[in-house]
Amino acid sequence: MTAGGFPKIQLIRAHRIKNPPDSKSDKWVDGVRLSTRGSPVAYSVTSGPDDWKVYPVESFALVRDPDAPDEYRGKTSLHHGINGLRDAKEILTAEKQGVKINSSLALVIKILQAAQPDQPVFGPQGLIQTESGDLSLDRILAGAIPRLNEGEDIWSHKSDRPSPTFTGFLDYLLRDVAIGLGLPWEFVWDSTKLGGSGNRLAIGQAQWKFEERQAQFKPHANRDWQFVIGAAIDRGDVPADKDWFRVKWQMPRRISVDAGRDAKANLDDLKYGVRTHSEDAGERGEFWEDERRQTELETLDLIQRADRIAKATGKPFELILGLIQQRSPNPVIPPPTSAEPPTGTPPNPTTAG
């Protein structure tokens, strides 16, 4: 709480939860103090070697994705692929250095027998310093025609790095990381090899993982809501309400690989009552009651404007409403007036006397 009594929430990364220096091994496990029954009662958080704070479990919300039922702190989702990430980084560093060295070599002179030291092929020789040591290079002038000694040959150096096998091996390491995250490798790294249906499958699998993680946050978000709003009611910042603790969380919009196709399918489902407005608005990241309220305001404004224009012009209300906003693919045909008979209606027959 602040000095004025307003709630504060602090975010802490899980690796800062550690056993305090004076802790007993039978009371603390991975920075979590346990009761005699083995349930968490407090968390020890460090900000440095000499900075330790212990928080009771009532003031702490631990968001984790455990792999085992006896994990008190939880592990990072990358722990399956940490070694793979390190290997990939080291391999990439070495491969990039190899590519740089290969790119710096244009031509190579092959000597089958020792050449005369006083007859260099391309003129005066010099030494150049590299990370791997000094190399003896000949300076080549544009358009020069070298005169080779017997047993010498010029070979144009070509590099095949990085090779296709290297990129495949790198993809294998990153696939291991993606599996640890619970996400499809194609979604995380490369989706170019997938077609339309494959992309939809990968995005659907990723969406399931995101929704699972969102469900983990909701209970903690409910606690935060009650903490903040309850304190605000006590302070008099907001009025009390009998349902102040009831809250519904709206998640971001779903990922889609084909927004047009999904929108048409959703529209048909809404039309036939298979899909609810709440479900449709939620997938778009909106709240259905807000949309209904906005639709009500816009509809009322539309009717008022159409009625005002109809009275000012003397035209039928239906015609003006259709001109302002057309909801049907067919144009609105105004009803006939009393002076003009409807189209297709025969005139009254004349009675013979």
pLDDT tens figures, 78-106? 777 888 888 888 888 888 888 888 777 77
* Residues linked to residue 136 through DSSP beta bridges, in sequence order: 127
The answer on 215 and 239 residing in a single domain is yes
Residue 176 lies in a domain: yes
202, 219, 249 - which closes a domain? 249
CA atoms within 13 A on the CB side of 16: 16
Residue 238 reports pLDDT greater than 50: yes
Question: Strand locations in 115-210, DSSP E?
Answer: 125-130, 133-138, 152-156
Give dist(CA 18, CA 62) in Å, integer: 14
The answer on 173 and 235 residing in a single domain is no
The answer on 41 and 1 residing in a single domain is yes
The answer on 92 and 24 residing in a single domain is no
The answer on 15 and 66 residing in a single domain is yes
The answer on 91 and 142 residing in a single domain is no
Band (352; pLDDT cuts 50, 70, 90): very low
Contact in structure between 104 and 128 (CB atoms under 8 Å): no
Phi and psi of 17, rounded to 5°?
-85, 105
Contact in structure between 213 and 191 (CB atoms under 8 Å): no
Residue 349 lies in a domain: no
The answer on 129 and 40 residing in a single domain is no
- Please indicate whether residue 328 or residue 76 has the higher confidence score (pLDDT): 76
**pLDDT confidence of residue 347:** 52
The answer on 2 and 65 residing in a single domain is yes
**In this predicted model, what pLDDT tens digit does every residue of 23-38 receive, in sequence order?**
676 688 888 998 888 8
Residue 344 reports pLDDT greater than 60: no
Residue 269 lies in a domain: no
Residue 44 reports pLDDT greater than 60: yes
- Structural domain boundaries, residue 293: 288-324
* Residues linked to residue 42 through DSSP beta bridges, in sequence order: 33, 56
pTM (two decimals): 0.57
**In this predicted model, what pLDDT tens digit does every residue of 124-134 receive, in sequence order?**
555 545 555 55
Structurally, the chain folds into a number of domains equal to 5
The answer on 146 and 92 residing in a single domain is no
Residue 348 lies in a domain: no
The answer on 27 and 10 residing in a single domain is yes
Give dist(CA 5, CA 232) in Å, integer: 9
Residue 306 lies in a domain: yes
- 235-242 own/partner pairs: CB under 8 Å, 24+ apart: 235/4, 235/5, 235/6
Give dist(CA 309, CA 325) in Å, integer: 13
Angle, helices 288-313/317-324, rounded to nearest 10 degrees: 130
**In this predicted model, what pLDDT tens digit does every residue of 239-298 receive, in sequence order?**
999 999 888 888 887 777 766 667 777 788 887 888 888 888 887 878 888 888 999 999
Residue 64 lies in a domain: yes
Give dist(CA 30, CA 80) in Å, integer: 19
The answer on 64 and 39 residing in a single domain is yes
What six digits make up the tokens of 61?
Answer: 């919300």
Residue 15 lies in a domain: yes
Give dist(CA 146, CA 122) in Å, integer: 6
Q: What is the mean pLDDT of residues 335-344?
A: 54
